[in-house]
Amino acid sequence: MAFVNLKKKEVQVKIVYYGPGRGGKTTNLEYIYKQFNHRIQTEMIAIKTHGDRTLFFDFLPFEMGQIKGYDIKIQLYTVPGQVKYNATRKLVLRGVDGVVFVADSMEVRREKNTDSLKNLQDNLIAYKKNIDTLPIVLQYNKRDLAEQGVPLLPVEVLEEDLNKELQAPSFSASAVQGTNVAETMKKIILMVMVSLQQELK
């Protein structure tokens, strides 16, 4: 839940990158950290396992500039994608204002995507939030792997699997190459800000 500080004229917003393990959530944040370092005043925080997988979350505070005289501070988080870490994943979702669902385009990960989206839905319900009304953007990641001959799910299939009911904005992306990473982030920030705009008047 965003906090509006009337005294400091500041709004803090929480956006969580969600999705199956090894889908590219951390890679999204790493790209943003590298690309937008002039807007980021601190180090990216990453709590990882020894095997370099996300254990708890990654955290990246991002200065978005001003809207209606308010400084907008975007807090970007990732969750651990591995199924066994649901307790920590749920903790990170607390107070979320918007979600980027990073789906893995690889054919072999089809079921992992749908499982993870269902898990997101369940975890949001625990916080009395509805996936249909929360700002959400879908990102179909790893599209670059097609060049290497890796079998990928067609975007139409991903849309059918994940976005048929949600009807959310979606992007084909490559977090490794940076394709549509910024666009995904801008879209979710815009959606969250629109939902908050009425309250800032």
Partner 1 sequence: MSYTFDYKQLDSLEQVLQEGLIDLGVHCVVLIDMSGNIIVNLDNGKMKHDVYSLAALAAGNFGAVSTMAKIIGEDEFSLLFHKGKTENIHFSKILNDFLLVTIFGKEVSLGFLRLKVAEAVEKIKSILESTTGT
**Footprint of partner 1 (CB under 8 A):** 1-7, 11-12, 14, 42-43, 45, 47, 56-57, 59, 61, 73, 75, 77, 87-88, 91-92, 94-97, 196, 199
Tell me whether strands 136-141 and 45-48 are parallel, antiparallel or unpaired.
unpaired
Do residues 131 and 124 lie in contact, with contact meaning Cβ atoms separated by under 8 Å? yes
In the structure encoding, which two tokens stand for residue 196, read together?
């908050």
Give the span between the Cα atoms of 28 and 44, in whole angstroms: 12
Residue 56 or 101: which CB sits closer to partner 1?
56
Residue 14 or 109: which CB sits closer to partner 1?
14
Residue 34 or 151: which CB sits closer to partner 1?
34
In the structure encoding, which two tokens stand for residue 25, read together?
């959530």
CB of 43 to partner 1, least distance (A): 7
Decide: helix, strand or coil at residue 71. Answer: strand
CB of 73 to partner 1, least distance (A): 7
Residue 6 or 84: which CB sits closer to partner 1?
6
CB of 106 to partner 1, least distance (A): 30
Do residues 159 and 110 lie in contact, with contact meaning Cβ atoms separated by under 8 Å? no
